[in-house]
Amino acid sequence: MELTVLESSGFCPGVMRATREIERLLDKGEDVRICVLGELIHNPTYMEMLEGRGVETVESGDVGDIAEESDNGRRTVLFIRAHGVSEATESYLARLCSEHPRFEVKDMTCTFVRRIHDIVVKNTSDSSLLMLFGTKGHPEVEGIRGHAKGEVTVFSDPDAVDERIFALAEGKKRIIALSQTTQSTVLWKKSQKKIKNLCTNAEIFDTICNITEKRQADTAALARRSDGMIIIGGKTSSNSKKLYETARENCENTVWIETADQLQPRLFIGAERVGIAAGASTPGVIIEEVVNKMTNEISTENFEELLEGSLKTLNTGDVVPCIVTSVTAGELGVDIGAKVTGVIPKDQVTDDPAAKLEDLYKVGDTFEAFVIKVSDIEGMATLSKKRVDSMKNWGTLVAAKDSGEILEGKITEAVRGGVIAIVNGNRVFIPGRHTGLPKDADLTALVGKVEKMRIIDINATRRHAYGSIRSVADEEKKAREAEVWANIEEGKHYVGRVKSLTGFGAFVDIGGVDGMVHNTELSWKRIKHPSEVVNVGDEIEVFVKAFDVEKHRISLGYKTPEMNSWFVFAAQHQVGDVIPVKIVSLMPFGAFAEIIDGVDGLIHISQIADHKIEKPEDELKIGDVVNVKITAIDDEKQKVSLSIRALLRDLKETAEEAAEEAPAADEE
- Per DSSP bridges, beta strands 331-335 and 341-345 are antiparallel
CATH domain 404-470 topology: OB fold (Dihydrolipoamide Acetyltransferase, E2P) (2.40.50)
Catalytic residue among 90, 140, 245, 521: 140
For residue 139, report the phi and psi dihedrals to the nearest 5 degrees: -55, -35
Question: How many angstroms separate the CA atoms of 405 and 454, rounded?
Answer: 6
User: Which among 434, 16, 433, 479 is positioned nearest to 211, based on CA atoms?
Assistant: 16
* Class of the CATH-defined domain 218-306: alpha beta
For residue 375, report the phi and psi dihedrals to the nearest 5 degrees: -125, 105
For residue 17, report the phi and psi dihedrals to the nearest 5 degrees: -60, -45
DSSP calls for 177-213: EEE-TTS-HHHHHHHHHHHHHH-TT-EE---S-HHHH
For 488-515, the pLDDT digits (tens) are 888 888 888 998 989 888 899 888 888 9
Q: Are 112 and 209 in contact (CB under 8 A)?
A: yes
60-71 and 87-99 are packed helices; what angle lies between their axes, rounded to 10 degrees?
Answer: 10
Q: Which CATH architecture fits 488-563?
A: Beta Barrel (2.40)
Per-residue pLDDT band at 662 (split at 50, 70, 90): low
Q: Which CATH architecture fits 573-652?
A: Beta Barrel (2.40)
How far CA 31 is from CA of 49, 53, 102, 138, 449, in Å, comes to 19, 12, 12, 33, 50
Q: Which of 306-320, 380-394, 619-633 is predicted least confidently?
A: 306-320
Mean pLDDT of the region 156-173: 74
Mean pLDDT of the region 580-588: 93
- State which CATH number among 1.10.1500.10, 3.40.1010.20, 3.30.930.10, 3.40.50.2300 fits the domain covering 112-208: 3.40.1010.20
Q: Which of 302-316, 318-332, 411-425, 468-482 is predicted least confidently?
A: 302-316
How open is the CA angle 371-376-381, to the nearest 5 degrees? 25
Average per-residue pLDDT in the chain? Answer: 85
- Per DSSP bridges, beta strands 590-596 and 319-327 are unpaired
Where in the chain do CATH 3.40.1010.20 domains reside? 112-208, 218-306
Buried b (16+ CB within 10 A) or exposed e, 382-403: bbbbbbbbbeeebebbeebbee
Where in the chain do CATH 2.40.50.140 domains reside? 311-388, 404-470, 488-563, 573-652
pLDDT of residue 310: 45
Which residues make Cβ contacts (< 8 Å) with residue 124, sequence separation at least 6? Answer: 130, 148, 149, 150, 174, 176
Computed on alpha carbons and rounded to an integer, the radius of gyration of the chain in Å comes to 37
Question: How many angstroms separate the CA atoms of 302 and 136, rounded?
Answer: 46
For 177-215, the pLDDT digits (tens) are 999 988 888 888 898 988 888 887 889 998 888 777 788
Q: Which CATH architecture fits 311-388?
A: Beta Barrel (2.40)
Whole-model pTM over 0.75: no
- State which CATH number among 1.20.1250.20, 3.40.190.10, 3.20.20.70, 3.40.50.11270 fits the domain covering 2-111: 3.40.50.11270
pLDDT of residue 97: 94
Residue 657 pLDDT > 80: no
Q: Are 103 and 97 in contact (CB under 8 A)?
A: yes
**140 is known as an active-site residue:** yes
Q: Are 220 and 249 in contact (CB under 8 A)?
A: yes
For 443-453, the pLDDT digits (tens) are 989 998 999 99
Question: How many angstroms separate the CA atoms of 438 and 445, rounded?
Answer: 12
